[in-house]
């Protein structure tokens, strides 16, 4: 999901003169960026001893065949800490659009509370998460091109009459989420941009970042009865809605030893329904390090201009003492 524009700007990212319909950046490997997907996932990492901490790095290059592509970088840390009854984490998300025309950097902290439900071996657990962030956006107005700058014989030779906006804006934001899980199933809900902050470069109170809702879930099915073989099949789905735009990802992971493969289909629903992309993933895990690469193959009518997107992820994790309180790590996919 990326920002779309209307009104006559000659640059694909001429953001200052039109009415902006805003959407958050997306990541295909949403479970490899747990804090970004759902703040309740903070502290949910798994290791052989139970709880774990992790550091994750995600990079996405969306539609690289276009001039002025979208590039996103997400770096996060989260860990279960028994003394606070749940998980804590921090995240930096940096997004660049239009070869640096528009940049956005968000810094956030997150806390999730772990609540055991019921008793017994297959008891359920509920995580409730809250995230606060501060975002800095900047726009290089001088690099934008407008129709009133054109001379027929010289091209863009005239100064523009468009109103010049602020070069930067800063705003706070809040997200919240919940995850319910046991040893086999997991499901979660998250609400982002709860306060719908104003992010206008013109101080326009009507230009806000709308709330984004995420529902995700799935299962982890063992393919081997041996406790020492980590062969699993994990069907899962993720649904997002932001204003009039909705998106559905459906697919599965197959984990066989250190190798992980995955296949998904992404459907989008905006002003009209369209099949968006087929997503293929391959991942590798060695000891405490894992790496994943995913390729989005566009299947919509726009595939000639935007045939693909690429994304990579890398994570390092480590075991931490689970503490005296009941604790079960969340065995959801890692990419």
pLDDT band of residue 11 (cuts 50, 70, 90) is very low
Q: How far apart are the first and last CA of the chain?
A: 19
Question: Tens digits of per-residue pLDDT, 128-173?
Answer: 999 999 999 998 887 777 777 788 887 787 788 788 888 899 999 9
Per the listing, tokens 């027929």 go with 152
**For residue 1, pLDDT beyond 70:** no
Contacts 24+ apart (CB under 8 A), 265-270: 266/296, 268/300, 269/245, 270/244, 270/245, 270/246
Strands annotated E in 31-123: 46-47, 50-62, 70-81, 86-97, 102-117
With left for phi above 0 and alpha for psi between -120 and 50, is residue 120 left, alpha or beta? Answer: left
Whole-angstrom CA distances from 34 to 39, 179, 194, 218, 270 are 7, 12, 18, 15, 26
Task: Record the tokens describing residue 232, joined without a space.
Answer: 């699993």
Helices (H), the chain: 34-37
Whole-angstrom CA distances from 209 to 13, 71, 83, 226, 242 are 17, 19, 35, 48, 9
3-state secondary structure of 278: strand
Question: Tens digits of per-residue pLDDT, 87-116?
Answer: 999 999 999 987 668 899 999 999 999 998
**For residue 273, pLDDT beyond 70:** no
- What is the fold of 4-319? Porin (2.40.160)
Of 3, 37, 1, 41, which Cα lies nearest the Cα of 19? Answer: 3
Task: Record the tokens describing residue 199, joined without a space.
Answer: 């992010």
- Tally Cβ neighbours within 10 Å of residue 52: 21
Stretch (H or E) spanning 292: strand 289-298
Whole-angstrom CA distances from 311 to 4, 63, 100, 151 are 21, 11, 19, 41
pLDDT at residue number 92: 98
pLDDT at residue number 333: 76
pLDDT at residue number 132: 98
**For residue 13, pLDDT beyond 50:** no
- In angstroms, the CA 63 to CA 174 distance is 29
pTM to 2 decimal places? 0.86
- In angstroms, the CA 15 to CA 236 distance is 36
pLDDT at residue number 143: 76
Q: Where are the domains of the chain?
A: 4-319
Specify the length of the chain in residues.
335
**For residue 71, pLDDT beyond 60:** yes
> Using an 8 Å Cβ cutoff, are 212 and 22 in contact?
no
- In angstroms, the CA 122 to CA 223 distance is 19
| pLDDT, averaged across the chain | 84
In angstroms, how far apart are the furthest CA atoms of the chain?
80
Stretch (H or E) spanning 269: strand 259-269
Question: Tens digits of per-residue pLDDT, 39-67?
Answer: 999 988 877 666 788 999 999 998 887 77
Stretch (H or E) spanning 139: strand 124-139
pLDDT band of residue 329 (cuts 50, 70, 90) is low
> Using an 8 Å Cβ cutoff, are 192 and 212 in contact?
yes
């Amino acid at each position: 999901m990326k920002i779309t524009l209307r009104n006559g700007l000659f640059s694909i990212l001429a953001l200052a003169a039109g009415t902006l319909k805003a959407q958050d950046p997306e990541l295909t490997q949403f479970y490899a960026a747990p804090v970004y997907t759902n703040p309740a996932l903070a502290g949910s990492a798994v290791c052989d001893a139970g709880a774990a901490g992790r550091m994750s790095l995600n990079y996405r290059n969306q539609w690289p065949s276009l001039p002025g592509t979208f590039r996103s970088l997400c770096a996060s840390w989260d860990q279960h800490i028994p003394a606070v009854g749940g998980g804590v984490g921090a995240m930096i998300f940096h997004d660049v659009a239009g070869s640096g025309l528009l940049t956005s950097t968000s810094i956030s902290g997150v806390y999730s509370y772990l609540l055991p439900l019921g008793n017994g071996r297959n008891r359920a657990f509920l995580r409730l998460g809250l995230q606060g962030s501060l975002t800095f956006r900047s726009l290089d107005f001088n690099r934008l091109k407008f129709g009133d700058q054109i001379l027929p014989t010289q091209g863009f030779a005239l100064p523009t009459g468009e109103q010049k906006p602020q070069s930067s804006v800063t705003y706070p934001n809040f997200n919240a989420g919940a995850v319910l899980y046991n040893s086999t199933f997991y499901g979660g809900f998250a609400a982002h941009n709860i306060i719908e902050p104003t992010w206008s470069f013109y101080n326009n109170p009507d230009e806000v970042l709308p709330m984004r809702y995420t529902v995700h879930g799935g299962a982890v099915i063992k393919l081997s009865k041996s406790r020492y073989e980590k062969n699993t099949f994990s069907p899962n789905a993720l649904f997002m809605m932001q204003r009039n735009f909705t998106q559905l990802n459906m697919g599965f992971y197959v984990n066989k030893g250190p190798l992980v493969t995955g296949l998904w289909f992404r459907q989008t629903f905006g002003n009209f329904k369209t099949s968006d992309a087929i997503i293929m993933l391959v991942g590798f895990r060695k000891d405490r390090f894992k790496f994943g690469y995913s390729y989005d193959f566009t299947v919509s009518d726009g595939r000639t201009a935007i045939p693909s997107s690429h994304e990579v992820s890398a994570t390092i994790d480590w075991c931490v003492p689970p503490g005296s309180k009941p604790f079960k790590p969340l065995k959801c996919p890692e990419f």
